Chains A and B, each alone.
Chain A
Amino acid sequence: MPFEGFGSHGLHLPISRRQALMKSAAGFGSLALASLLTESPRAAPAAGSVDPLAPRAPHHPARAKRVIFLFMSGGPSQVDTFDFKPLLTRDNGNPLPFDKPKIQFNSTGNLLKSPWEFQQHGASGLWVSELFPNLARRVDDLCMVHSVYGTNPAHGGAVMKLHTGSDNFIRPSLGSWVSYGLGTENGNLPAFVTICPTLAFGGINNWSSAFLPAAYQGTPLGNASIASDQARVKYIANSRLSREMQRLQLDRLYALNREHQARTAIEDSLEARINSFELAFRMQSELPKIEDLSGESAATHALYGLDNPVTANFGRMCLMARRFAESGVRFIQVTHNDNKVQWDQHADLKDGHEKNAREVDLPIAGLLYDLKARGLLDDTLVWWGGEFGRTPTAEGNNGRDHNPDGFTMWLAGGGAKGGLRYGSTDDYGYFAAENKVHIHDLHATILDLLGLDHERLTYRYAGRDFRLTDVEGNVVRELYA
């Protein structure tokens, strides 16, 4: 009897696929084949039939087909960006009139008003601070969730919780779960890419597939220490050999492998590995095409701020994200991180947040505009936020500490309701108060928008059915358009 304990699959794939998924993982797409030669033909059916990344039908009709996650590393301050708190301004310098959380990262003093003015914008009248003048013009596309909360007040735990749903175990990341659930629409590209991710605070675990098959892991382009125009997939190009020469090599390799296969009489063959070279060769030409932005118009370059050194680095990531989205990549993450943990203003709030906002405001507004103009925003879910927010109380006299207890994230497109203001924090913006949305709830909601039921998207590992939301998670349907 075949052992079903390991590869059991919430999507009810046929057994052969389950088994193949467990060991094969044919890379980015098309080919496949269980690679373990020692496995049976039953476990390794004909090439093509077990592609772990073939597009798959969702559990229920999807509102979004793909996700662009704009990760603001370090934790932007909700009370200085989107969560307007008049009482914080009024009571500036007074003590917080209620208890701070039992567990804090650092200790903070009295209330600190935002150095920035807020105004209402658009038909929806959502509040946006003067940090985001360009994004303010797109508020009617934004679905503001003011009552997000997490559990971990340190970067490491919070970043991992945000990406994987767990802050102390190694678990598959959200992008991997999405790739596992839906596959990809472009077999020549990875299903899940992450542009300039930070290598700290969990590093690769934030885009790894953990116990899911390797085909679902995220593919990084560079990392946060590399400028986005230098960010590449590892080993994607050959520094010495021409494409023509590599073609000669591949043809010779193909012949060698076929002869070997004939001699060893292994019926399952090393087909998967043979094909993987062909796919790699195609990827080699496909990926640089997406990374090459020279074909985009001057207007587009300006739209994303590529013509300005302040916005060019992040703008390029946003434009690449749009191009990946267009090409059928399922989950695209863009990370805004510099060598000081970008949004982590324990001190120097004024200059720090101003610099950070200036770098991302125009590119994000450009991305939303561009997606909409191309009709992509309808089925692309854009998700913005950091691993936590910041305290309304002061750290020093010009800083704010980590605050996982209440902060703002926003969604746009992909079935999220534009112009919505959902949930709230208390009068000072410290704790999520009304309609609280835990990170798990947000994960459940994102999966649900993609047509996946977070309770049914499971994978059996080490004797247990795991899921992204563990035993938590409520879908917040109030956010839907």
Chain B
Amino acid sequence: MMIYVLLCAVLAADDPVRIQPPAAEQVRFFETSVRPVLVEHCVACHGPKKQWARLRLDSREALLRGGDTGAAVVPGKPDESLLIRAVQHTDDDLKMPKEGKLSDRQIADLVRWVETGVAFPETPTAGRPSRDPNHWAFQPPIDPPVPAVTNSDWPQSPVDRFILAKLEAAGLPPTEKADKRTLIRRVTFDLTGLPPTPAEIDAFLADSAADAYAKLVDRLLDSTAYGERWGRHWLDVARYADSNGLDENVAHGNAWRYRDYVVEAFNRDKPFDRFIVEQLAGDLLPAADEAQRHEQLIATGFISIGPKVLAEVNEPKMRMDIVDEQLDTVGRVFLAMTLGCARCHDHKFDPIGTDDYYGLAGIFKSTRTMDTYIKVAKWHENELPSAATTALRAEYEARLGAKRQAIADFVAEADKQVRANLGPEAEPAENLATLYPDATKADLTKHRDELTALEKSPPDYPAAMGVTDDQVIDVAIHVRGNPLKLGEVVPRHTPPVVRGAHISQFTPAESGRRQLALWLIDPEHPLTARVIVNRVWRWHFGKGLVRTIDNFGLLGEAPSHPELLDWLARQFVAGGWSFKTLHRLILNSSVYQQSSSPSAEIAARDPENRLFGRASVRRLDAEEVRDALLAVSGQLDATVGGSLLKVKNRGYLFDHTSIDLTDYTSRRRSLYLPVIRNNVYDLFQLLDFPDPAVPNGDRAMTTVAPQALLMLNSDLVMQSADDFAGRLFAEPGNDEQRLSRMYVFAYGREATPRERESGHAFLAQVDRALTATEPDAARRRRQSWNVLCQVVVAANEFIYIQ
């Protein structure tokens, strides 16, 4: 603080000739509070293009030199500075800017800027290292040779050679292979999110074939649970949620179709390039049959499921906010770049300009995400046409028609009655209905109410959140992101800094989503394949080869193994973008099968495990904790797919009453529990489930006391412990046998003699403590087991994978 004050004093000194680089704080202040004002309000007339009154306001020298009426600023003396007098409207003949007075804050900022010496660093133009277009991630991947290694016994796959080469260069040996029990537990959780069953463990231990492990990997990749686990990884980056969140937390009643689509895509090993095209442009693709058409429409849910401010009163802002969210998501998910920054100004660090941003924004502005923008705004859903839907609609329309006809008949009959009563000579009344008897009036009202009710409740035609093309337009640059201040119109285009991929041609006939997708899946695209193989690596190893999983830009980290990253990217593309092939490549390597207990040397010399010279211990994810609790207690319901949301589509999950309509009592896998933005299931929140409002490929890992409270006191854990104990009692046996089974179920291993001994001792201790409240010995024993089972599932060995 003191230094800051001193610097301000120095800079405020009236000494325009001294050239001294401004302090960082000054620069920051200038860049955030002053330059934007000058650019937006002054430089158009006093800058490179026009120099009204022969004045320019785009450099310090120009300001000091001034124009026709003298210097624009006197450093340190705002009162003597014409610029300040002009914006303050001090003098009647000099009021700037012409379009209206600046805000008080903007004026105050300019005053402060002049007071503190008029810091004016040069424009951060392209070519500065921070916006380096030659950054590694923008260049196509190389095709690296597989390196030679000294220890030729260790590598089982080329992956190992890349890893081992670096370890050998560092003079470090890899860690020995993990034992079979550890391996099956690790790889089963990794690929399915579930613990291995005792039978699966036994089978693997009994299989002495050389390819026993490879067969295990194949079996797991073929299981439905694989898609449920790996689909969930994708849902993290797709910011999947079953409610909108933000201001109006209404149900995404049809989002589950997208979730099921993702699970299915992983289970069927849909090639990633195809997966991308479907998610970005499925509605624009030809389909061989109805099922494929549905699948492709559902896939575009990816674009639509982001959070939206549905009660935004400023409609142009809402439109651009939605476009921004989609654009930023596409950037982070596929390119690992933060494009959102360029909405208001050229990206500070990456070579992405506002023109690039609005070039992409045009694609999404030409896409129909919303049906209305009037609060509360409604998102678009694509109907999923089928014979069944057609029949349903026909049946409904028939019912409507019948009801309308019935009313018409009723009215005709009532009119006839009225006329008959009036006699033939009577002048017919304007509205005969007024003359109906009361009972007839009541009946008619009843019929009409029934019709209204029917009209208001059409059947739920199957539909999916998703998009379609809208009027195709190019978008103008929004100056400082302001939808009311438009600059130059930018043709739709992909950022030119990303090299290698062929440039798509955008036409007036289509929004350009298909072209965007085709650009992304070009085999020479430098980011798409690298970003996804890095994600897959992260999901297997806990860290990426590039550790900043969602940021490959200039502020991201460089890859620890650039050749391996490129080799994997090349292999992935050459192998038809197949995830399962990539998994096999990685899982069958020696590097994956290492033990997590490293030698002292490795632990000391590579404490962060940057060289992957050992396996990383990992805590189970939120879903795995819950699924494992249900699995060991024998309560897991393995039903696949569908929705558990109890609130109807577009209904409020949370309104102003704060009444909680969520329900997490299901025993289905955690994947199927509704993901409610703003109020994620508390167990998930506590265990680092990512914020479903933003893409996240790198879940956090925290240890906080409320997690312990959850394990100690929550109904889920208490009930699971009881069920677990019940399962142990379901088979005949004594405590000794139950102890043995408990360890196998919970930890996938036999109890040691010491553990048995202390288990017995604990049961006896609890039994004694319960004597006062529970006289029945059998019930007491059973309760003691509940208490013990809770401890076992709360323990680190249950929660952490070696």
* Chain B residues positioned under 8 Å from A264 (CB to CB): 596-597, 617, 802
> What is the minimal beta-carbon distance from A272 to any residue of chain B, in angstroms?
4
Who on chain B is nearest to A258 by CB?
A: B796
* A24-B702, A219-B706 given; A274·B658 CB < 8 A: no
* Chain A residues positioned under 8 Å from B704 (CB to CB): 25-28, 214-215, 276
Complexed CA–CA distance, A6 and B698 (Å): 12
Binary CB contact string for chain A from 4 to 47 against chain B (1 if under 8 A, 0 otherwise): 01100000000000000001111111000101111111110000
> Is A307's CB within 8 Å of the partner chain B?
no
Who on chain B is nearest to A249 by CB?
A: B791
Binary CB contact string for chain A from 252 to 273 against chain B (1 if under 8 A, 0 otherwise): 1101110111001111001011
Complexed CA–CA distance, A199 and B678 (Å): 8
> Cβ of B616 and Cβ of A38 under 8 Å apart?
yes
SS of B interface (majority): loop
Stretch at the interface among B74-82, B88-96, B241-249: B241-249
Stretch at the interface among A82-90, A337-345, A364-372: A337-345
> Is B32's CB within 8 Å of the partner chain A?
yes
> Is B730's CB within 8 Å of the partner chain A?
no
Interface members, chain B 282-331 (any A CB < 8 Å): 309, 311-314, 321
Binary CB contact string for chain A from 450 to 461 against chain B (1 if under 8 A, 0 otherwise): 000101000000
Who on chain A is nearest to B307 by CB?
A: A170
Who on chain A is nearest to B309 by CB?
A: A168
> Cβ of B713 and Cβ of A237 under 8 Å apart?
yes
> Cβ of A280 and Cβ of B247 under 8 Å apart?
no
> What is the minimal beta-carbon distance from A478 to any residue of chain B, in angstroms?
13
Complexed CA–CA distance, A244 and B769 (Å): 8
> Cβ of A273 and Cβ of B702 under 8 Å apart?
no
Who on chain A is nearest to B685 by CB?
A: A204
> Cβ of B311 and Cβ of A463 under 8 Å apart?
no
> Cβ of B712 and Cβ of A38 under 8 Å apart?
no
> Cβ of A257 and Cβ of B694 under 8 Å apart?
no
* Chain A residues positioned under 8 Å from B338 (CB to CB): 462-464
Interface members, chain B 659-681 (any A CB < 8 Å): 659-660, 678-680
Option from B249, B550, B656, B706 in Cβ contact (under 8 Å) with A340? B656
> Is A421's CB within 8 Å of the partner chain B?
no
Binary CB contact string for chain B from 741 to 776 against chain A (1 if under 8 A, 0 otherwise): 000000000000011001000100110011000000
> Cβ of A463 and Cβ of B557 under 8 Å apart?
no
* Chain B residues positioned under 8 Å from A239 (CB to CB): 713, 718
* Chain A residues positioned under 8 Å from B548 (CB to CB): 3, 5-6
> Cβ of B679 and Cβ of A279 under 8 Å apart?
no
Complexed CA–CA distance, A60 and B619 (Å): 40
* Chain A residues positioned under 8 Å from B792 (CB to CB): 256
Who on chain A is nearest to B606 by CB?
A: A40
Interface members, chain B 48-67 (any A CB < 8 Å): none
> Is B547's CB within 8 Å of the partner chain A?
yes
> Cβ of B701 and Cβ of A36 under 8 Å apart?
yes
> Is A139's CB within 8 Å of the partner chain B?
no
Stretch at the interface among A123-131, A148-156, A373-381, A411-419: A148-156
> Cβ of A225 and Cβ of B703 under 8 Å apart?
no
* Chain B residues positioned under 8 Å from A280 (CB to CB): 705-706, 708-709, 712
> Cβ of A238 and Cβ of B713 under 8 Å apart?
yes
Option from B246, B682, B795 in Cβ contact (under 8 Å) with A156? B246
> Is A277's CB within 8 Å of the partner chain B?
yes
> Is B710's CB within 8 Å of the partner chain A?
yes
Complexed CA–CA distance, A474 and B109 (Å): 10
> What is the minimal beta-carbon distance from B78 to any residue of chain A, in angstroms?
16
Option from A5, A204, A234, A274 in Cβ contact (under 8 Å) with B706? A234
- State how many residues of chain A have any CB contact under 8 Å with chain B: 105
Complexed CA–CA distance, A225 and B679 (Å): 14
> Is A134's CB within 8 Å of the partner chain B?
no
* A27-B706, A223-B660, A463-B556 given; A204·B796 CB < 8 A: no
> Cβ of B705 and Cβ of A235 under 8 Å apart?
no
> Is A79's CB within 8 Å of the partner chain B?
no
Binary CB contact string for chain B from 706 to 736 against chain A (1 if under 8 A, 0 otherwise): 1111111110001000000000000000000
> Cβ of B702 and Cβ of A213 under 8 Å apart?
yes
Complexed CA–CA distance, A43 and B551 (Å): 22
> Is A205's CB within 8 Å of the partner chain B?
yes
> What is the minimal beta-carbon distance from B676 to any residue of chain A, in angstroms?
9
Option from B309, B660, B718 in Cβ contact (under 8 Å) with A225? B660
* A23-B701, A238-B713, A474-B105 given; A200·B658 CB < 8 A: yes
> What is the minimal beta-carbon distance from A4 to any residue of chain B, in angstroms?
10
> Is A298's CB within 8 Å of the partner chain B?
no
> Is A201's CB within 8 Å of the partner chain B?
yes
Who on chain A is nearest to B704 by CB?
A: A27
* Chain B residues positioned under 8 Å from A283 (CB to CB): 705, 709
Option from B247, B375, B596, B703 in Cβ contact (under 8 Å) with A202? B247
Complexed CA–CA distance, A341 and B311 (Å): 16
Option from B660, B762, B796 in Cβ contact (under 8 Å) with A260? B796
Q: Point out which of A201, A233, A341 has the most chain B C-beta atoms below 10 A from its C-beta.
A: A201
> What is the minimal beta-carbon distance from A149 to any residue of chain B, in angstroms?
11
> Is B22's CB within 8 Å of the partner chain A?
no
Interface members, chain A 37-73 (any B CB < 8 Å): 37-43, 59-60
Complexed CA–CA distance, A202 and B375 (Å): 16
> Cβ of A266 and Cβ of B597 under 8 Å apart?
yes
> Cβ of B702 and Cβ of A276 under 8 Å apart?
no
Complexed CA–CA distance, A321 and B703 (Å): 27
> Is B488's CB within 8 Å of the partner chain A?
no
> What is the minimal beta-carbon distance from A400 to any residue of chain B, in angstroms?
17
* Chain B residues positioned under 8 Å from A3 (CB to CB): 547-548, 557
> Is A284's CB within 8 Å of the partner chain B?
yes
> Is A224's CB within 8 Å of the partner chain B?
yes
Option from A27, A225, A257 in Cβ contact (under 8 Å) with B795? A257
> What is the minimal beta-carbon distance from B546 to any residue of chain A, in angstroms?
10
Binary CB contact string for chain B from 540 to 565 against chain A (1 if under 8 A, 0 otherwise): 00110001101101011100000000
> What is the minimal beta-carbon distance from A131 to any residue of chain B, in angstroms?
22
Binary CB contact string for chain A from 176 to 211 against chain B (1 if under 8 A, 0 otherwise): 000000000000000000000011111111001010
Q: Point out which of A208, A266, A284 has the most chain B C-beta atoms below 10 A from its C-beta.
A: A266
Option from B25, B542, B700, B762 in Cβ contact (under 8 Å) with A252? B762
Who on chain B is nearest to A170 by CB?
A: B693
* A260-B795, A276-B703 given; A154·B313 CB < 8 A: yes
Binary CB contact string for chain A from 404 to 442 against chain B (1 if under 8 A, 0 otherwise): 000000000000000000000000000000001010000
* Chain A residues positioned under 8 Å from B702 (CB to CB): 23-25, 35, 213-215
* A35-B703, A203-B249, A273-B796 given; A284·B802 CB < 8 A: no
* Chain B residues positioned under 8 Å from A270 (CB to CB): 796, 800
> What are 7 inter-chain pairs, A to B, with CB distance below 8 A?
A156-B311, A157-B312, A234-B706, A249-B787, A252-B762, A261-B796, A463-B556
Closest 7 CB pairs of A and B: A156-B247, A40-B607, A27-B705, A203-B678, A463-B555, A35-B703, A280-B708
Identify 4 new A-B residue pairs, CB closer than 8 A, beyond the known A38-B608, A38-B609: A23-B700, A241-B787, A253-B795, A273-B796
> Which residues does A use to contact B, with CB under 8 Å?
2-3, 5-6, 23-29, 33, 35-43, 59-60, 103-105, 153-157, 160, 167-168, 170, 198-205, 208, 210, 213-215, 219, 223-225, 233-242, 244-246, 248-249, 252-253, 255-257, 259-261, 264-267, 270, 272-274, 276-277, 279-281, 283-284, 337, 339-341, 344, 436, 438, 453, 455, 462-464, 471-472, 474
